């Protein structure tokens, strides 16, 4: 079988979960049944990682979803590189890839949906019009699949492939230096969050829940001082720092900024917390589980497909329920037995259901069905 020529197209070559998803696909598939190419609009770390892997990288300006100039340029690039499949991640590049077919590119378009909340009201109509036989959509969760159907996508063009992580990498016996680096004592209990600071990630909800916890139960729980490590940057970072200051809890929160050493951070932490308002699935949750961390997550989108009564690896809380979030944190603070049990179960669930190899093979099968 000839090697497939796949172009990964993304608007922003940034540093979030979607970018880690694209990185994993490119890293695993390039040279293994596929020849990978990468094109982007806005510069970011993902473009650098692609270059480091020796993957050809191209800049493609995409001003809007219906940028005809971008579609024409993409069609030319696909003809030049003899691309079989263009794999997109968001609607802007998805629509541009579809329009490029009008300019002579004969590519098959695969789009991955990482969302469970509606965008523009016109999306539903556009999705119905643009859901052709030469497109396939990967939903990262059953929640994302339901969202896509509600948004006008044809069910027969949608398949669910859960995100996966490299279990061997996260279970490797390596020591973490994050506590020493950030001045966190060895007997502190570290609660970590890794997420960009944007409205949909719900950092202000978490900060208010932390304030409620500390005001109600004090700053030492079961003999250990809790430290809240918030990793990430973004548009709401300064707003969240100000909120923590206003609530008088700045001394208990470390705003660590963006960091690429995810494993190092998780290995030095005790509990992982996801506080999103919207979350299609959550790669960071899987990464934490692979490091045997118990998880607290908001019950939104596809998080219930990861943390549930079947695998017993954590606690789900309704978004906005500050008391519920505070109680969940207190419960895990006070029970080392429960932390260990949830951590052990989480690792087992990742090995069984959410491995990177399973995700890659299922995606490879989608590609094969396209050509």
Asked if pLDDT for residue 239 goes beyond 80, the answer is yes
Picking from 151-155, 168-172, 217-221, 256-260, which range would have the lowest pLDDT averaged per residue? 151-155
What percentage of the chain exceeds 70 in pLDDT?
A: 95
pLDDT, position 153: 82
Number of Cβ atoms within 10 Å of the Cβ of 251: 11
Asked if pLDDT for residue 143 goes beyond 70, the answer is yes
Q: What is the CATH class of 4-164+355-370?
A: alpha beta
pLDDT, position 171: 97
pLDDT, position 119: 64
Of 205, 198, 200, 206, the C-alpha closest to 236 is 198
Of 153, 220, 144, 227, the C-alpha closest to 184 is 227
Work out the pLDDT band at 154, boundaries 50, 70, 90. confident
Work out the pLDDT band at 133, boundaries 50, 70, 90. low
| Alpha helices per DSSP H over 167-202 | 167-171, 178-182
Mean pLDDT of the chain: 93
pLDDT, position 17: 86
Asked if pLDDT for residue 108 goes beyond 70, the answer is yes
Q: Mean pLDDT over residues 269-292, rounded? A: 95
pLDDT, position 157: 87
Asked if pLDDT for residue 192 goes beyond 90, the answer is yes
Radius of gyration of the chain (CA): 21
Q: Mean pLDDT over residues 328-353, rounded? A: 97
pLDDT, position 132: 60
pLDDT, position 152: 81
DSSP letters spanning 40-90: EEE--HHHHHHHHTT--EEE----STT-HHHHHHHHHHHHHHT-SEEEESS
336 versus 119: the higher-pLDDT residue is: 336
Asked if pLDDT for residue 179 goes beyond 70, the answer is yes
C-alpha–C-alpha distance, residues 333 and 222, integer Å: 7
pTM over 0.95: no
Q: Mean pLDDT over residues 206-230, rounded? A: 94
pLDDT, position 222: 83
Picking from 20-29, 119-128, 145-154, 316-325, which range would have the lowest pLDDT averaged per residue? 119-128
Work out the pLDDT band at 252, boundaries 50, 70, 90. very high
Asked if pLDDT for residue 285 goes beyond 90, the answer is yes
pLDDT one-digit tens code per residue, 34-80: 999 999 999 999 999 999 999 999 999 999 989 999 999 999 999 99
Q: Mean pLDDT over residues 278-294, rounded? A: 94
Asked if pLDDT for residue 202 goes beyond 70, the answer is yes
Work out the pLDDT band at 148, boundaries 50, 70, 90. confident
pLDDT, position 121: 66
pLDDT, position 219: 87
Of 30, 83, 87, the C-alpha closest to 55 is 30
Residue range(s) in the chain whose domain bears CATH number 3.40.50.2000: 4-164+355-370, 167-353
158 versus 132: the higher-pLDDT residue is: 158
132 versus 268: the higher-pLDDT residue is: 268
C-alpha–C-alpha distance, residues 192 and 267, integer Å: 10
DSSP state for residue 201 in the 8-state scheme: G
Asked if pLDDT for residue 1 goes beyond 60, the answer is no
**Segment holding 316, helix H or strand E:** strand 314-317
pLDDT, position 130: 62
What percentage of the chain exceeds 90 in pLDDT?
A: 82
Q: What is the CATH class of 167-353?
A: alpha beta
């Amino acid at each position: 079988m000839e090697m497939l020529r796949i172009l990964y197209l993304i608007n922003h070559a940034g540093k979030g979960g979607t970018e880690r998803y694209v990185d994993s696909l490119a890293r695993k598939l390039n040279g293994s049944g596929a020849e990978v190419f990468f094109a982007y609009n806005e510069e970011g770390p993902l473009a650098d990682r692609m270059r480091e892997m020796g993957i050809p990288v191209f800049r493609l300006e995409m001003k809007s979803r219906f940028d005809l100039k971008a579609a024409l340029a993409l069609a030319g690039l696909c003809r030049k590189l003899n691309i079989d499949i263009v794999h997109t991640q968001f609607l802007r590049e998805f629509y541009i890839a579809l329009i490029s077919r009008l300019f002579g590119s004969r590519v098959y378009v695969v789009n991955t949906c990482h969302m469970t909340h509606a965008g523009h009201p016109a999306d539903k109509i556009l999705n119905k019009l643009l859901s052709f036989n030469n497109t396939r959509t990967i939903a990262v969760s059953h929640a994302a699949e339901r969202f896509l159907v509600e948004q006008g996508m044809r069910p027969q063009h949608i398949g669910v492939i859960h995100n996966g992580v490299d279990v061997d990498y996260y279970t490797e016996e390596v020591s973490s230096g994050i506590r020493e680096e950030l001045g966190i004592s060895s007997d502190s209990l570290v609660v970590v969050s890794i997420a960009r600071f944007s409205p949909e990630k719900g950092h202000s909800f978490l900060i208010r829940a932390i304030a409620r916890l500390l005001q109600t139960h004090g700053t030492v729980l079961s003999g250990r001082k809790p430290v809240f490590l918030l990793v990430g940057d973004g548009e709401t970072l300064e707003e969240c720092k100000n909120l923590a200051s206003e609530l008088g809890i700045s001394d208990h929160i470390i705003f660590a900024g963006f960091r690429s050493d995810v494993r190092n951070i998780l290995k030095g932490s005790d509990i992982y917390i996801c506080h999103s308002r919207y979350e299609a699935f959550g790669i960071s949750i899987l990464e934490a589980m692979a490091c045997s961390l118990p998880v607290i997550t908001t019950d939104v989108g596809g998080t219930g497909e990861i943390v549930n009564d079947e695998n017993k690896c954590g606690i789900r809380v309704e978004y906005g329920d500050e008391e519920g979030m505070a109680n969940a944190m207190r419960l895990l603070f006070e029970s080392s037995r429960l932390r260990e049990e949830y951590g052990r179960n989480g690792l087992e669930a990742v090995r069984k259901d959410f491995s990177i190899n399973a995700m890659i093979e299922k995606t490879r099968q989608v590609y094969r069905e396209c050509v």
